[in-house]
Structure 1
């Protein structure tokens, strides 16, 4: 007996299928600890590049099963899903997407218990808040204030939390009142799929500095090898010609080839050698 799918669920399955057919890649972000404002901010930053969708794993699995003949390996991704997930659909490669997400971290409001991702400084200036009981909150956090023109002013820039310190409920509340979003938050990919290939979080962890260093070293080795074997390219030609010229000049000097430039250098070299030989033999100049 075939089980009827609820119209709403059927609509959600079709929505996932439409996106899987439209885009080259799909990536999965673990939603644990991710706040709604983070997702909204990332949606805004990545609009036009990435489409976001929160849906149940069962819905995604049904969509993947429907596309198993068209999208080789997509069922394997669906079977690997665990927990609450955010799905990112894009035409970018998973590696480019991972790098983009790392570069696109957003600032979010602090909550009690959050760990400061950097030093948190409350800047001097007009808070726009009227005097009242809130002044005691500033005092509790040792933030110097004054009253001016009917507003609370912070007298000087004040460090209220160092990087790595836990944020108290009082501090989180005050920062929120001041409109300060001090926590840097990002989205980390745990799975991704493209062209029949499944990528894990470890696969997608790209150290750009290490990668850049490796590419520079490889390019340097390749250039040296090309020059040494005489492989001509627009990049190696000047180096190969320069090397050939230097070797030819050195050979001409040793052979005392009758050219003005060569003879001048040959005579200079002969004089140096004669002086060195004279010193070794114990002769005095002019003796």
Structure 2
């Protein structure tokens, strides 16, 4: 825990205490980056999350102060503070919170100096541009362009900015003209806290379809193992007994054990064998 030796003004102390109080009131707390969100979009996000989550904006120094005073694993969230940070308080579990915040994101054009969140790719094919200065602009940005059929055409698909690289002014201008919007704008979850555990966003980014498929496969494999190992459970006892009956019946038929339940099958087998032998003899 960090040690603070200076006295906080009353309004700052009130802010810190409010954050600490919300940590006690809500089981899950998220740290989000709000950088680049237009005011109108932020207002809409707040409205959409009303009754589900509460967004608390405060100065970074006061947020760090509150986290340090709370201590424990919560203090570790300070390391994730970046950009225009805010705290979000909710009763939803961290996975649901991550999903909710992903739904707040929209794509926007890149601004000069921003970092590419992923590889930015310009696909080959025709554009809506007529021949003109745009051809030179594209080529200067490293995008292979040509004139074809009275339109500007991108000759080859090309990755123009790698993930993590800074987008310069010339590239940002060209991408905007091509209507390529690579920037995710919304509440970006940097960390989530619940019951003394801090979750990184990559831990919470679960593909529900894939996860459900894995659970279904695991359940089926466990069921099959239980049946094949003759390990009875409430779910597999019926299948184990049915398998045992089938195997006992097959053994009885093959061994010619004359029991009333299988005598017809034994006679049928003998009849088929006699027909097969008759065909060989004839």
Which ranges in structure 1 are unaligned for 5 or more consecutive residues?
A: 115-163, 169-183
How far apart in 2 are the matches of 1:276 and 1:189? 73
Provide the aligned length of Structure 1 versus Structure 2: 214
How far apart in 1 are the matches of 2:278 and 2:85? 85
Distance change in 2, residues 1:276/1:29 (3 Å):
farther
1:166 pairs with one of 163, 179, 189: 179
> In the alignment, which residue of structure 2 is the partner of 1:235?
235
Q: TM-score, normalised by structure 2?
A: 0.65
> In the alignment, which residue of structure 1 is the partner of 2:200?
200
Deviations 1:220-270 (A, max 9, x none): 111111111223233212211221221122122223333444111111122
Contact 1:27 1:87 in 2 (8 A): yes
Contact 1:38 1:185 in 2 (8 A): no
Task: Report deviation, 1:44.
Answer: 2.9
How far apart in 1 are the matches of 2:277 and 2:190? 73
Q: What is the DSSP-based 3-state SS (H/G/I as helix, E as strand, rest coil) of the residue aligned with 2:203? A: helix
Task: Report deviation, 1:62.
Answer: 0.8
Task: Report deviation, 1:85.
Answer: 1.3
Contact 1:26 1:89 in 2 (8 A): yes
Deviations 1:190-228 (A, max 9, x none): 211222222222222111122112111111111111111
Distance change in 2, residues 1:111/1:98 (3 Å):
closer
Contact 1:49 1:90 in 2 (8 A): yes
Task: Report deviation, 1:31.
Answer: 0.9
How far apart in 2 are the matches of 1:187 and 1:271? 76
Matches within 5 A, 1:72-151: 72-102=72-102, 104-105=103-104
Q: TM-score, normalised by structure 1?
A: 0.64
For the aligned residues, what is the CA RMSD?
3.1
Q: What is the DSSP-based 3-state SS (H/G/I as helix, E as strand, rest coil) of the residue aligned with 1:73? A: helix
Which ranges in structure 2 are unaligned for 5 or more consecutive residues?
A: 112-176
> In the alignment, which residue of structure 2 is the partner of 1:18?
21
